[in-house]
Amino acid sequence: ERISFEDSYLLWNKKSCKMIIENIPELKKIIKISGSAGNDRYVIKHQLTKPKKSNKITIGIGCWGFDHFLDPDRSHLATEEIRNFYIDQRNKFDKILYELIKANQDCNFIIKEHPGNTFGYEGSAIESSVDFKNVKIYKNEKSVLSCIEESDLWITYDSTTALEAWLLNKQTCIINPDKAKWPLPRDHMHTAQPIAGSTDEIKDFVDSIKIDGKILDFDNFYSKRKKIINDVIEWNDGLNHVRAGNEIIHFINSDLQKNKIDSRIKQPSLYIIIKQKLKWFLMNNFSWHNKFSNPNEKHRIWNQDEVIELAKNRLKKQKEFYSNNNLDKNGLKEIKPKSWND
């Protein structure tokens, strides 16, 4: 029916705004650009973090999901040629990473598996590296923010976590055994950081980090990284959550006619509510219930106390961040989202 239920529509960046307005021009009057609030935590974390005390180099590895191409149940999603390409890349990546870690026993390695990976170490292309004593592997036990923060160098096969590393002022690079070839559409992250295509090249990058804390040629990509950050999150000043918050405050305090909830938005029936509550109770309290559950249906248990504690800690850091940037409440109120045509 092309009915907008939103009274205000905040977007991360100009690029998204342009795409929407070109296709749905009637949304012009409610669209604004606030930037990516979630990425603020990396900027805030970087400004408030003290230099690490250890002199030992830590290399972080952000894993890719090769499991998509290993799973026979998903074989219909890509051609045999594409599957074979990524399986070959997986094998080469695993070998290069093994040789890198073997040659750098004086470094710590943090490997962060993709949370969606369903094929274990094989799906992450790390099975050859897991037994080294200087390697720690995390999936959901540790956040990607913490992994990047502890690293002096963040290595990926292809990942948007590179942008998060840049916001934390970390060096990054990519391991792509076949640099020039990529059979599927790809974002621009790989254009803003050095790419290693072989064991020798990635060893040179790590050696460079050991010598002067920088990767060869990393600074040459500065302008490209700056453009990508702007294209994705608009502002990297750590204040996008303030822009979004001020728009919410403005809306609450305004005399605008609020949209009524459309009657076509269906409320769940009492039967559905009871069924869902019973399902969660069984999953949380009886291990035998998991035997009869869909193995692809994974639930993380919600802990409200943890959320409250996280919110308290985050607010404490935000206030410290505001103070460091000489921003009081009046100054924060002046930080507003932009209209689509600004």
Q: Categorise residue 217: left if φ over 0, alpha if ψ from -120 to 50, beta otherwise.
A: left
Average pLDDT over residues 321-338: 95
Average pLDDT over residues 17-23: 93
| Residue carrying the six token digits 């990976």 | 117
Give me the sheet containing 135-138, strands edge to edge. Answer: 135-138, 108-112, 58-62, 153-156, 171-175, 195-196
Count of all residues that appear for the chain in the document: 342
This prediction's pTM: 0.84
Residue-wise pLDDT tens digits, 162-216: 999 999 999 999 999 987 778 888 889 999 999 999 999 999 999 999 998 899 8
Cα(90)–Cα(96) distance, rounded to whole angstroms? Answer: 10
Q: How many CA atoms lie within 13 A of 135 on its CB side?
A: 19
Cα(259)–Cα(6) distance, rounded to whole angstroms? Answer: 8
Residue-wise pLDDT tens digits, 27-73: 988 999 999 999 999 999 999 988 776 778 999 999 999 998 998 88
Burial profile 111-142: b = 16 or more Cβ within 10 angstroms, e = fewer: bbbbeebebebebbbbebbeeeeebbbeeeee
